[in-house]
């Protein structure tokens, strides 16, 4: 039976569009899962969304959407993003799903019954306008709200608490007995010193908002984020349900890894194992907390501008370029910086020059000197072969060792050491000189063979990292399926090489300066592709504009169209004797009651049309993009007033 491997990302908050920071964790887990697959593991990869909480409720409100519609849209955008990035996830859990909620409710009630959760009061500072509680350490100067800067007041709220203190010693012993439970070492030390200061019980419910999972035995409380969020790692596997086969197989399997960013280390290293201990579930997981990608200007945030989005990189450069940069550039255990310069340099130097060119040159030479085909002859050797062969074997070992301890960047570095060494081997063996001497034909063939065999190894090791490039390398070199596997990684396994006639570059070299400028302008939000130029060939005259009778109108009533779910039927007062009926395609964005009494802008001299059996006598003005639509409204003025 194959060993099992269960790997998870954090479940992301749908509070804004996911940036390359969140993408890093997802791509990192994807590379590890593909590596384990390559090694023959039976693996399972979970990711998803953390959809409850005050913040999400607020963001949805700002968008004039129900929380559910908002998270639904964000979940489908995120899934589409992961699909576009070819992420090999097996399940995408959403905390608003019934399968998750039921498990969380059972967990909460069990802990309550056992006395591991108890009812108490939560003291905090409350910001009225933001409707949010803050702890001492979160507050700004003079106890002001860290979000809006206004004054806060001290308030008490009834809350359930998780008894962390009871498990403190058990957790300390667990971490000490399992030295590789938390990596890197520096993060483990952070956790240990935090626990040693003494753990306060954790507030795990709220009564001040609704958007969460209700506590079954006391529904005025909703479960506050962490018990809800952390449970996803087992609810997705069917823990405590009729079919818990995935849970049995993977949670109780051979390897379980949670990958998180350093920001949520404590929750995973302290609260989660304590929850599991209290539930009598074995703590089978290992925790890896990586550093952060920063922008030159500082932190990346979903709600701030000035960050890089993965789709921008893919549109302009490509998926492998993005994967390579993200996985290579973040050092183990610390932060990294995304700059246009470093990104373009990595593509040009590492991918185009060193790696892409090596394949290109090798294929061209095999075509030129041997008409595309060479064979392995173990009897011929030149003085440089041994060093290359030893490094190939060493690279496989280094790569494996690093991947096993999640040092993906180091693993990639070891592959590039082989890439450089193989380039150097060309300089050492000087095939163009050997080619001039017919007596050196066998030696020349041996050099070509070594290049191809080294590239085959590089290709296999890059399967988890560069999805298209590894595939293309195998095709161009004519490597059969059975020699694209982990088990085939042995020098000499390739018996003969039959390459394509014309190599195609893996990574075209970019015009560095131009591309750096382009990325900089994308970051400043000035990129041409994100701007909308005016069509100068189709200008309107003032007479064209004056032809439109634009007026202020007051919405008297609104209702859903009986035969079309996108349409609303409005009666408006546009300063005429009779109300006017307008049918508008806004039902996905507005409920009828949202519009009543609003003063809107309408065009009243459009030819009337019939929309699904209802007469529409005019048009409502609204602004929109792909996601949002807002009807233009005004304060003051009266129905019939002109708009110009
Ligand atoms: O914390 N660099 O969700 P979240 C690298 N819902 N990784 C980054 C990053 C950056 N600049 N910014 C974010 C949550 N990340 C909770 C998790 S889990 C039970 C609940 C990654 O959307 C990193 O993995 O704020 C970090 O931990 C995660 O995104 C935070 O995502």
Separation of CA 109 from chain center: 33
pLDDT of 528 strictly over 60: no
Q: What is the pLDDT of residue 153?
A: 86
Closest residue (by CA) to atom 12 of ligand 1? Answer: 21
Q: CB atoms < 10 A from the CB of 508, how many?
A: 13
387 — phi, psi (to 5°)? Answer: -60, -45
Residue of 13, 20, 21 best suited for mutating to test ligand 1, as the one with most atoms within 8 Å of CB: 21
Average pLDDT, integer, range 423-452? 97
- The SS3 of residue 453 is helix
pLDDT of 527 strictly over 70: no
Q: What is the pLDDT of residue 538?
A: 76
Question: Would you say 419 and 459 are in contact if contact means Cβ atoms under 8 Å apart?
Answer: no
Better-predicted residue by pLDDT, 24 or 564: 24
Q: What is the pLDDT of residue 349?
A: 97
Range in 96-105, 124-133, 320-329, 587-596 the model is least confident about: 124-133
Beta strands 255-261 and 285-290 are: parallel
DSSP string, 310-327: HHHHHHHT-HHHHHHHHH
Respond yes or no on whether the N-terminal peptide bond of residue 557 is cis (omega within 30° of 0): no
How confident is residue 475, by pLDDT bands cut at 50, 70 and 90?
A: very high
Q: Which of 77, 13, 20 is nearest to 314 (CA)?
A: 20
Range in 24-28, 153-157, 565-569 the model is least confident about: 153-157
Average pLDDT, integer, range 509-536? 78
Atom of ligand 1 nearest to the CA of 226: 19
pLDDT of 531 strictly over 80: no
Q: Which of 147, 148, 132, 13 is nearest to 70 (CA)?
A: 13
Instruction: Spell out the alpha helix ranges (H) of 462-511.
Output: 467-477
CA distance 126 to 306: 31
Atom of ligand 1 nearest to the CA of 25: 24
The helix or strand, by DSSP H or E, that contains position 5, with its residue range, turns out to be: strand 4-12
**What is the whole-number distance in angstroms between the Cα of residue 21 and the centre of ligand 1?**
7
Residue of 235, 261, 272, 299 best suited for mutating to test ligand 1, as the one with most atoms within 8 Å of CB: 261
Identical fold at 4-290 and 540-643?
no
How confident is the prediction for the chain on average, in pLDDT?
Answer: 93
Q: CB atoms < 10 A from the CB of 373, how many?
A: 14
Closest residue (by CA) to atom 14 of ligand 1? Answer: 12
CA distance 85 to 251: 27
How confident is residue 124, by pLDDT bands cut at 50, 70 and 90?
A: confident
Tokens 């070509």 belong to: 448
Residues 129-174: pLDDT tens digits?
Answer: 766 778 787 788 888 988 788 888 888 889 999 999 999 999 999 9
The structure tokens listed for 4 are 């099992």
Q: Give the bridge partners for 159, in sequence order.
A: 120
Residue of 264, 265, 309, 322 best suited for mutating to test ligand 1, as the one with most atoms within 8 Å of CB: 264
Q: State in words which class domain 4-290 has.
A: alpha beta
Average pLDDT, integer, range 200-226? 93
pLDDT of 432 strictly over 90: yes
How confident is residue 65, by pLDDT bands cut at 50, 70 and 90?
A: very high
CA distance 232 to 227: 9
Distances in Å between the alpha carbon of 543 and those of 82, 540, 547? 50, 8, 6
Better-predicted residue by pLDDT, 437 or 528: 437
Closest residue (by CA) to atom 21 of ligand 1? Answer: 22
Residue of 7, 10, 75 best suited for mutating to test ligand 1, as the one with most atoms within 8 Å of CB: 10
**What is the whole-number distance in angstroms between the Cα of residue 22 and the centre of ligand 1?**
6
Atom of ligand 1 nearest to the CA of 18: 22
Q: Give the whole-number percent of the chain exceeding pLDDT 90.
A: 78
Residues 357-399: pLDDT tens digits?
Answer: 999 999 999 999 999 999 999 898 888 999 999 999 999 999 9
DSSP state of 240: T
For the whole prediction, is pTM greater than 0.85?
no
Beta strands 614-616 and 609-611 are: antiparallel
Average pLDDT, integer, range 468-477? 98
pLDDT of 303 strictly over 70: no
Q: What is the pLDDT of residue 386?
A: 94
The structure tokens listed for 627 are 């996601």
Residue of 263, 302, 336 best suited for mutating to test ligand 1, as the one with most atoms within 8 Å of CB: 263
Q: How is domain 540-643 classified at the architecture level of CATH?
A: Beta Barrel (2.40)
CA distance 103 to 216: 12
Ligand 1 pocket list (CB less than 6 A): 10-13, 21-22, 24-25, 50, 229-230, 232, 260-261, 263-264, 292-293, 300
pLDDT of 530 strictly over 60: no
Closest residue (by CA) to atom 22 of ligand 1? Answer: 12
Tokens 């959403």 belong to: 94
The structure tokens listed for 105 are 């409710």
Burial of 538 (0-12, 13-18, 19+ CB in 10 A): exposed
What residue segments make up the domains of the chain, in order of their start? Answer: 4-290, 340-498, 540-643
CA distance 63 to 58: 9
Helix axes 408-429, 20-38, angle to 10 degrees: 70
The structure tokens listed for 410 are 């180091």
The structure tokens listed for 14 are 């749908």
- The SS3 of residue 287 is strand
**What is the whole-number distance in angstroms between the Cα of residue 374 and the centre of ligand 1?**
50
Q: What is the pLDDT of residue 541?
A: 86
pLDDT of 401 strictly over 60: yes
Q: What is the dihedral of CA 416, 419, 424, 428, to 10 degrees?
A: 140
Burial of 233 (0-12, 13-18, 19+ CB in 10 A): buried
Closest residue (by CA) to atom 8 of ligand 1? Answer: 21
Q: What is the pLDDT of residue 131?
A: 64
Closest residue (by CA) to atom 29 of ligand 1? Answer: 22
DSSP string, 615-642: EE-SEE-EEE-SS-EEE-B-SS--TT-B
28 — phi, psi (to 5°)? Answer: -60, -50
Residues 186-201: pLDDT tens digits?
Answer: 999 999 999 999 998 9
Closest residue (by CA) to atom 26 of ligand 1? Answer: 261
How confident is residue 533, by pLDDT bands cut at 50, 70 and 90?
A: low
Question: Would you say 293 and 21 are in contact if contact means Cβ atoms under 8 Å apart?
Answer: yes
**What is the whole-number distance in angstroms between the Cα of residue 267 and the centre of ligand 1?**
12
CATH of the domain spanning 340-498, picked from 3.40.50.2300, 3.30.1280.10, 1.10.3720.10, 1.10.730.10: 1.10.730.10
């Amino acid at each position: 039976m194959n060993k099992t491997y269960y790997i998870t990302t954090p479940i992301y908050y749908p509070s804004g569009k996911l940036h390359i920071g969140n993408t890093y964790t997802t791509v990192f887990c994807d590379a590890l899962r593909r590596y384990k697959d390559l090694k023959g593991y039976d693996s399972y990869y979970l990711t998803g969304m953390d959809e409850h909480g005050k913040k999400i409720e607020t963001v949805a409100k700002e968008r004039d959407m129900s929380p559910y519609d908002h998270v639904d849209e964000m979940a489908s955008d995120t899934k589409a993003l992961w699909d576009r990035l070819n992420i090999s996830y097996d399940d995408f859990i959403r905390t608003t799903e019934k399968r998750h909620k039921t498990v969380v409710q059972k967990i909460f009630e069990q802990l309550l019954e056992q006395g591991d959760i108890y009812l108490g009061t939560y003291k905090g500072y409350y910001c009225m306008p933001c409707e949010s509680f803050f702890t001492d350490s979160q507050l700004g100067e003079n106890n002001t709200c860290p979000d809006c800067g206004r004054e806060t007041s001290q308030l008490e709220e009834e809350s359930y608490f998780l008894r962390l203190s009871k498990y403190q010693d058990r957790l300390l012993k667990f971490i000490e007995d399992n030295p590789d439970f938390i990596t890197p070492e520096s993060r483990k030390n952070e956790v240990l010193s935090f626990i040693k200061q003494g753990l306060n019980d954790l507030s795990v419910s709220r009564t001040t908002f609704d958007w969460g999972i209700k506590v079954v035995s006391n529904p005025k409380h909703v479960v506050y984020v962490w018990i809800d969020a952390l449970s996803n790692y087992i609810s997705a596997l069917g823990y405590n349900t009729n079919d818990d086969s995935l849970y049995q197989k993977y949670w109780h399997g051979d390897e379980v890894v949670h990958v998180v960013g350093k920001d949520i280390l404590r929750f995973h290293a302290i609260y989660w194992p304590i929850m599991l201990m209290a539930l009598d579930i074995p703590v089978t997981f290992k925790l890896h907390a990586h550093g952060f990608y920063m922008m030159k200007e500082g932190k990346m945030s979903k709600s701030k501008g000035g960050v890089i989005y993965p789709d921008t990189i893919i549109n302009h450069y490509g998926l492998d370029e993005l994967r390579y940069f993200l996985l290579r550039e973040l050092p183990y255990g610390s932060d990294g910086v995304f700059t246009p310069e470093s990104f373009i340099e990595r593509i040009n130097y590492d991918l185009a020059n060193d790696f892409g060119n090596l394949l290109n040159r090798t294929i061209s030479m095999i075509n030129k000197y041997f008409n595309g085909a060479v064979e392995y002859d173990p009897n011929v050797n030149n003085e440089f072969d041994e060093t290359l062969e030893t490094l190939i074997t060493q690279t496989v070992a280094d790569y494996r060792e690093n991947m096993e301890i999640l040092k993906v960047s180091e693993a990639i570095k070891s592959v590039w050491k082989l890439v450089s060494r193989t380039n150097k081997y060309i300089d050492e063996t000087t095939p163009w000189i050997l080619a001039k001497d017919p007596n050196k034909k066998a030696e020349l063939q041996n050099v070509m063979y070594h290049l191809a065999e080294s590239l085959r190894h590089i290709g296999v090791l890059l399967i988890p990292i560069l999805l298209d490039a590894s595939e293309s390398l195998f095709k161009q070199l004519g490597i059969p399926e059975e020699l694209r596997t982990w088990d085939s990684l042995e020098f000499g396994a390739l018996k003969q090489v039959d390459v394509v006639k014309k190599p195609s570059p893996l990574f075209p070299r970019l015009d560095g300066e131009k591309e750096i400028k382009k990325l900089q302008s994308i970051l400043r939000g000035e990129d041409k592709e994100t701007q909308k130029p005016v069509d100068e060939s189709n200008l309107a005259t003032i007479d064209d504009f004056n032809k439109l009778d634009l007026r202020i109108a007051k919405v008297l009533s609104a209702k859903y169209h009986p035969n079309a779910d996108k349409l609303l039927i409005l009666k408006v007062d546009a300063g005429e004797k009779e109300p006017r009926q307008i049918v508008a395609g806004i039902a996905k964005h507005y409920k009828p009651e949202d519009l009543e009494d609003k003063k809107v802008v309408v065009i009243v001299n459009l030819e009337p049309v019939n929309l699904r059996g209802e007469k529409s006598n005019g048009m409502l003005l609204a602004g929109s993009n792909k996601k949002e639509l807002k009807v233009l409204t005004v304060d003051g003025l009266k129905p019939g007033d002109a708009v110009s």
